[in-house]
Amino acid sequence: MFTGIAEEVGYVKYVDNSALTVECKKVLEDAKIGDSIAINGVCETLTDIYQHEFKVRISEETFSITNFSKLKVGDKLNLERALTLNPRLGGHIVSGHIDCLGKCVKINNLNEFYNLFFEIPKSQMKYIVYKGSITINGVSLTVAEIDNNIVKIAVIPHTFNNTNFSELKIGDFVNVETDIIGRYVEKLLLVNNNKSGISMELLEENGFV
C-alpha cells in the first residue's frame, strides 16, 4: 500500500514489454529485493538492485493497461516506497493497482497553481466524485471539478515541480487509480441489494432506471 506522496522522480534507463530499469537514489536507501515500489502509481516488486538503479519485471497485463507501454528511455517516473505505520500518512490509501489510462486534454498555468484536465473512460467515472481522492501517475490528488468524463485537478507548484507532472503534455496518457473506498461501497451495495431481492430487472420494471 502507498499514500500517493511521490518521494522521488526517477528516470527510465531501459524498458521493454517485460522489464523496466529505473535510475534513482532516494528510494533505494533501505530497499531490498522483494520490496514493493510504486512507479507512476503502479505497484511493482524489486527484482534487481544496483547502486543507483533498480529493475522490475512487467507482466503482460500491467504493460497493456498502464502507460508503461508508452515509456521511453529518459522519461521521468514518480517513485514511492511502500508505506509504513510509523510516520504520518499523507495523501490517501493507494493500492498501486491501476484502473485505467487517462488522457491529458488541457493544462492551465495560473502562476501559483496548475489546473490539469484529464479525460477518463466513462466506465470509471462512477468511482470519481467531486472533492474525492484520485491517484494520477501515483500522486494523491483531489478532484476539483467534473464535467462529463473530464476531471479537473488543481495542483500546487510544489507537487507540479517535484513530480513528472512538470513534463506533462497535452495528449499524454497517465495511470489512474480511483478511490478504493468507492469500490468497496459498490460491492457492499450490490451484495445487500441481491439479498433484498432488488435487481436491475426489478428497477427497470418499476421505472427507476
d(CA 199, CA 183): 19
Average pLDDT of 48-67? 95
CATH number at residue 54: 2.40.30.20
**Top-confidence residue, 7 or 86:** 7
81-117 confidence digits (pLDDT tens):
998 877 667 778 889 999 999 999 999 999 889 999 9
Instruction: Tell me: do 13 and 76 sit in the same domain.
Output: yes
3-state SS assignment for residue 178: strand
**Same structural domain for residues 13 and 44?**
yes
- Asked whether the CA dihedral 48, 20, 102, 111 is positive or negative, the reply is positive
Q: Which domain holds residue 197?
A: 181-209
Q: Is the pLDDT of residue 199 over 80?
A: no
Domain-embedded: residue 34: yes
* Per-residue confidence (pLDDT) for residue 83, from 0 to 100: 86
Question: Is the Cβ–Cβ distance between 39 and 25 less than 8 Å?
Answer: no
Provide mean pLDDT across the span 105-134. 93
Q: CA angle, 41 as apex, 82 and 73 as ends, to 5°?
A: 110
Is residue 92 included in any domain, yes or no? no
Number of domains in the chain: 3
Q: Which of 81, 115, 142 is the last residue of a domain?
A: 81
Looking at residue 35, its pLDDT comes to: 94
User: What's the average model confidence in pLDDT over 166-193?
Assistant: 85
Whole-number pLDDT of residue 46? 96
Residue 90 lies in a domain: no
For the chain, the average pLDDT equals 90
Q: Cα torsion for 45, 50, 51, 55, to the nearest 10°? A: -40
Percent of the chain with pLDDT over 70: 90
pLDDT of 209: 42
pLDDT of 76 strictly over 90 = yes
22 and 74 together in one domain: yes
